Structure 1
């Protein structure tokens, strides 16, 4: 793995696009790992890009946030392509003949989930009918042996579905805190359901690995995302409560969030359970190293979301209604990254998400291990000499026009102060009639090693197309791009800008 970990040292001035696979076009109501994903990789190649950044790829919960998943290790089953299942003989043309009418502009997660579940159950039934010596069955058996997290996750999901999706803290005690002997009983009770969950994870991993190989063969690297915290309603907390600050029943005693910042005057109360870092230290951060190991199989570069939480984090009492009543507590700091380097080798390909309230200590931790931070152009124009302005950006950083948490650039400009808009026009020497492309040019022309743009900015889309509004509980994560937007003209325009600025 060490060869892979010299990537960041070797790579120079690359650019790419931020888009989650769920946002891709496709006829099944949600972007998936089928033909449109391969078409998007072809678009990246045609437009001269070498980076595809996604959000976390895990199975999402009630609000569909990829930052609140049922597992830190598992994949999102909704990304599984029915077309590819058909190619393998696990679905038929008849199975795919009555596709419901889905919006091509936003994901209806509930409707898509219901439709795809029926298809996946059909594929699973055909899989079980295969001869025992079929190569597919051998592959699944090997996957089950190699994925250390799979047994707990599959059992967790089997129980959860039997309880109508209820939070695990609401289950009966024999399911909520099963002993070893009770787990054996549960395995027999849910034998078929557990195998089904394993089948889904194996299918996801196979399809993702094939897509990643296709991208890598075309000199396109995938940037994955590790949320620093995990959902309280997850197989992680259910199976390993000692990793977290929870009471004897599994309820968190303190939770994660951030104090007031750019996004919210009352801060953000995320509600995730916080880690018991003393216990993690005793295990030499084994759970975390396994998490990175899994992520490095899925992606070439990993962004650590809320990197600053590894230096210090905002601890909020679990009964608080806002994030105001919190305090800063030390994280694992240097020791964490020293173990990471001992485990994986020097210069791991990691991007530090260092936005928000960043102190000198956080910057020192980032710089000590040579991790590139993030610079957001939308943040650059309110202050006179912002650190986000290109002439203040160091080489070892990633420049973004915006991220999934920001408004689109067109939407941002429409609501920005006149002071900021005036500075944009003067700085970029533009009338701002296509301001997102002005931002793309400026981003690509910056000193930053990597330049990445959300896909919405390619199409000059407005605020109605943003991916997420922090602090807003519902209506996020549903954005989809229409198939007809990925044209050769757009690819040519992006290619020209890319080459003009030496990316």
Structure 2
């Protein structure tokens, strides 16, 4: 079935509290994309942000980050006596100020919260209490990583010997925060579903060392006796990075995971399937082969490819979740076995239009097909306009000529990229909001292998320009038979 969608992180929604949240702007965004004719809203992970505000290094693969909680909805719920004062309006997300403000607001709301049946039901989820303990102990240790805590604290997850009574209030508070996150998110998702919009969530393949996942499941990872990784994840050198990418995530102990029926992965999928309608698995190729680097190495240059038991894992996933739609992030130079694994389970793969127009990119010169998602770009790429502006005259002329030949808009380059994407034979076509608005690389969401304040900080400061494009987009989706 031909359909279409839009990619926008919750954090990028406009907000007077420093970062996008589950409040009225999110509902307004749903209304706009419904009017346009899109049926998929693709997000970035909603888990607690880790180092550098990256959603791909979370403190937990199941918990949610409190910064997405809407203060306005707390006020409407009666948990705040007065409306919170907004922050100064910035053009970009300000994580530091937003986190500080949200913490103050949530502490106030916690004082006025009364437990109900919904809350008691929610805290039965396996991760909730353990994550609350994890975060409470982490805060008691100045946010230090769990393997630096004292022995009793570090071992609580295994032996439950530590007396937690002095931490009870902190633990109760963290469970409250997770409940509010879950409630606000599921309300928003229900609203989107009622408008015919499905939510695509994003699951990182790896988890961060500094996480509940690793603390609780230390035997599931290749760690030394001090809880540090023996080996870490990354990717080898390529056109974009001469030293490769050294991500630092611990590597799974697949032998141990197999002995336990891959329960770690099954639980992750099970809970995320409650939060989203479609799951995109980031770095899918690692289910076939993954790049393993000795943790002592300072770059990812010296590593080796190790085979993973992808078929065993997906046999179980498909058996337990037969109706769940899973998308494989299969970008980059891959061996044919990765694609065979993807196709064996009939998973949709991905294609980036910009890569196929880039004379320096050799990994995307394959034909479009029905069972795939085509994107102009993703959160890790230049915007379409930024890409075009950065090309030499010869490449620009080639793109314009291509647009002319196919009767795409060759004067408004933004529209040309959109028309080419939606005209693809791919069943799904998804575009980042930046490409709908024709924004340049100042609006880029992330530049891989870099740490700076621009990454993850794009903000959609106004919905007006997006609303102005709804008629054009609606006609385009009709013309390309996506509605």
Structure 1's consecutive aligned runs of 4 or more residues displaced over 6 angstroms after TM superposition are 384-387
1:90/1:126 contact within 8 Å kept: yes
C-alpha displacement at 1:474, in angstroms?
Answer: 2.1
Q: Which runs of 5+ in 1 are unaligned?
A: 1-11, 131-135
Q: Cα gap change, 1:322/1:417 in structure 2, threshold over 3 Å: closer, same or farther? A: farther
User: Residue in 1 aligned with 2:472?
Assistant: 493
* Aligned partner (choices 284, 298, 314) of residue 337 of structure 1: 314
Quote the RMSD (CA, aligned, Å).
Answer: 1.8
1:310/1:332 contact within 8 Å kept: yes
User: Residue in 2 aligned with 1:161?
Assistant: 139
* Aligned partner (choices 43, 53, 73) of residue 64 of structure 1: 53
Residue 80 in 1 paired to residue 73 in 2?
Answer: no
1:24/1:481 contact within 8 Å kept: yes
CA distance in 1, matches of 2:456, 2:170: 28
User: Residue in 2 aligned with 1:200?
Assistant: 177
CA distance in 1, matches of 2:465, 2:25: 11
| C-alpha distance after superposition, 1:170-229 (max 9, x if no partner) | 2222222336565551x2121010111111111111111111110111110000001000
User: Residue in 1 aligned with 2:116?
Assistant: 137
User: Residue in 1 aligned with 2:40?
Assistant: 51
User: Residue in 2 aligned with 1:108?
Assistant: 94
* Aligned partner (choices 245, 261, 264) of residue 238 of structure 2: 261
Name which structure has the greater RCO, CA cutoff 8 Å, separation 6+.
1
CA distance in 1, matches of 2:104, 2:291: 42
* Aligned partner (choices 13, 16, 19) of residue 2 of structure 2: 13
* Aligned partner (choices 457, 460, 463) of residue 441 of structure 2: 463
In the superposition, the TM-score normalised over structure 2's length comes to: 0.95
Q: Secondary structure, in 3 states, of the residue corresponding to 2:358?
A: coil
Q: Which runs of 5+ in 2 are unaligned?
A: none
| C-alpha distance after superposition, 1:64-84 (max 9, x if no partner) | 000010001101110001111
User: Residue in 1 aligned with 2:459?
Assistant: 480
CA distance in 2, matches of 1:419, 1:281: 52
CA distance in 1, matches of 2:120, 2:66: 19
User: Residue in 2 aligned with 1:22?
Assistant: 11
| C-alpha distance after superposition, 1:33-57 (max 9, x if no partner) | 0100000000110111001000111
CA distance in 1, matches of 2:96, 2:166: 27
User: Residue in 2 aligned with 1:215?
Assistant: 192
In the superposition, the TM-score normalised over structure 1's length comes to: 0.92
Q: Secondary structure, in 3 states, of the residue corresponding to 1:71?
A: coil
Residue 411 in 1 paired to residue 386 in 2?
Answer: yes
C-alpha displacement at 1:61, in angstroms?
Answer: 1.7
User: Residue in 2 aligned with 1:378?
Assistant: 354
Q: Cα gap change, 1:415/1:89 in structure 2, threshold over 3 Å: closer, same or farther? A: same
* Aligned partner (choices 90, 106, 111) of residue 120 of structure 1: 106
CA distance in 2, matches of 1:244, 1:114: 33
CA distance in 2, matches of 1:57, 1:195: 21
User: Residue in 2 aligned with 1:4?
Assistant: none
C-alpha displacement at 1:349, in angstroms?
Answer: 0.4
Q: Secondary structure, in 3 states, of the residue corresponding to 1:177?
A: helix
* Aligned partner (choices 174, 181, 184) of residue 152 of structure 2: 174
Q: Cα gap change, 1:21/1:376 in structure 2, threshold over 3 Å: closer, same or farther? A: same
